[in-house]
Amino acid sequence: MNIGIIGAGVAGLSTAILLASKGKRVTVYESSDKPGGKLNEKQIGAYRFDLGPSLFTMPQWVDELYHSAGKDPRDYYKYKSLEVATHYFYEDGTNFRSSSNINNFSEELENQGIKTENIKQYLKKVSRIYQTTEQIFLKSSIHQWRSYLHWEVLKSVFKLPFIKGMTTMAAMNKDYFKDPRLQQYFNRMATYNGSNPYQTPGTLNLISHIEHNVGAFFPEGGMYSITKGLYKLALDLDVKFEFNTSVDEIIVENNKAKAVRIGQRILSHDIVVSNMDVYFTYKKLMPKINAPEKILNQEKSSSALIFYWGIKKEFNQLGLHNIFFAQNYDAEFNNIFKRKIPHDDPTVYINITSKECSNDAPASCENWFVMINVPNDSGQDWEALKKQAKDNIVAKLNRMLNTDISSLIEVEEVLEPKLIEDRTSSFRGALYGNASNNKMAAFFRHANFSTKIKNLYFCGGSVHPGGGIPLSVQSGKIVSDLIHRAYK
């Protein structure tokens, strides 16, 4: 069987590996000059930066790709567990470090005057939510009836009334915690899939289970080493890659995907898998096909404004991951999702991989990946907003770190929503496809297969089960399983 995959992002690589390990002939077409999609890297002067996802969770799901091919993951990439996941800073002077060790974390919070009497019960609750939803929402195709015939899925279905789907993330967290600082801390988990904690279902608090009960990790050599390992594995499985190659069309005949067109070349495939954003898959690659407009027009996730700064100083109070919270969190999300402009007092995330990889920055310097959540692109003046956002970020960091950031910036590049769309084909620069701001959001994501076009499948963050490294890997597994069952 000859399979063509459009896009060499994490989901495209995962799908290619799993299909090739089952004996399929796979060719991956990638418009960039290297694999990775959003999970990429760049050298800016003497500084190396991971360009996209910076937090590594659920590494066992990546390891499973190697196991499926009979390989040892440690021959391809290595990672370690982080004792401290993230450093948190509040405007009132509160600062603490999060950890998967609940006793250490509780002690950190208590030292800041934050009462933690409910935190163990809370983490047990979100663990139960995760266990209930894992099989049905993360590992199965919820759009195919046969998925519900498995006993594990059926058990999950019976437990769905208990997963806090009818309340919001923020409301659930307010029920558990009186301290607004702890509410804000757990509400932040909504940003992991580009959603609003004041709208997204409480079910999404399962993300706290992943970070606290499972833990956070860091791959040796930085996040791009995940991409490099998967790419090497794919090559070892004889997957073929064509880089600097943009697919112009998916050729559909008699309601079957038959080939891809690249310029004047027509390349036949028994199956076509798109790792491209599902919106552009329809609008650019199949413009004559009636697209599922209701799904494509669902509310999109937030985007990001990222400054890549080479900083001529080391900050001992900072770690690998750092969060400087907005004082008014509700107002920040109101700006992002309703007013469609960045907040004047944004929550600032700083990732500094040179804390773990000394070669990522010169001696006594640090590589700062500085990100704020912003609305997806709907025609805003991003040049003006970039300048305004930089001024707000610098003022906030100067105040909270008692420093002069501007004088320390040696190199700078900026990534905003329009550039994210241009470089990664993510519609409107939305990082996670659809937002999860309503109770039925999981069911409104596009399925991993076409219901109208045979032999056409979809993987990646814009389709089920969602965005981010773990879920992109899972989408590749779901697609591989669907193809294997349909054509075995």
Is residue 331's pLDDT more than 90? yes
Query: What tokens were used for 150?
Result: 């498995």
Is residue 115's pLDDT more than 80? yes
Q: Residues 13-54: pLDDT tens digits?
A: 999 999 999 999 999 999 999 999 999 999 999 999 999 999
Pick from 482, 488, 486: nearest CA to 143: 482
Cα dihedral 205→207→212→214 (10° resolution) = 140
> What's CA 408's distance to the chain center, in Å?
30
If you average pLDDT over residues 356-380, what whole number do you get? 98
Output the CA torsion sign for 225, 469, 348, 86. Answer: negative
pLDDT at 298: 93
Pick from 95, 114, 110: nearest CA to 317: 95
Q: Which long-range contacts (CB under 8 A, 24 or more apart) does 316-319 make?
A: 317/87, 317/95, 317/401, 318/87, 318/350, 318/352, 318/355, 318/366, 319/84, 319/86, 319/87, 319/97, 319/352, 319/355
Is residue 154's pLDDT more than 70? no
pLDDT at 438: 87
pLDDT at 440: 79
If you average pLDDT over residues 101-116, what whole number do you get? 94
Q: Where are the beta strands (DSSP E) in 21-154?
A: 25-29, 41-44, 47-50, 79-81, 86-89, 95-98
Averaged pLDDT of the chain: 94
Q: 338: how many CB neighbours lie within 10 A of its CB?
A: 10
Give strand pairing partners of 304: 373
Is residue 442's pLDDT more than 80? no
Q: Residues 197-242: pLDDT tens digits?
A: 999 999 999 999 999 999 999 999 999 999 999 999 999 999 999 9
Is residue 155's pLDDT more than 90? no
Q: Residues 417-441: pLDDT tens digits?
A: 999 999 999 999 999 999 999 887 7
Domains contained in the chain, CATH given: 2-39+222-296+437-487 (3.50.50.60), 116-212 (no CATH), 302-424 (no CATH)
Tokens 């791009």: give the residue: 224
CA-to-CA distance for 269 and 115, rounded, in angstroms?
59
pLDDT at 149: 53
pLDDT at 166: 76
Is residue 161's pLDDT more than 80? no
Q: Residues 296-309: pLDDT tens digits?
A: 999 999 999 999 99
Q: 452: how many CB neighbours lie within 10 A of its CB?
A: 10
Q: Residues 89-102: pLDDT tens digits?
A: 999 999 999 998 99
CA angle 153, 17, 248 (to 5 degrees): 100
Report the predicted TM-score, pTM, of the whole model to 2 decimal places. Answer: 0.94
CA-to-CA distance for 480 and 483, rounded, in angstroms?
5
pLDDT at 349: 98
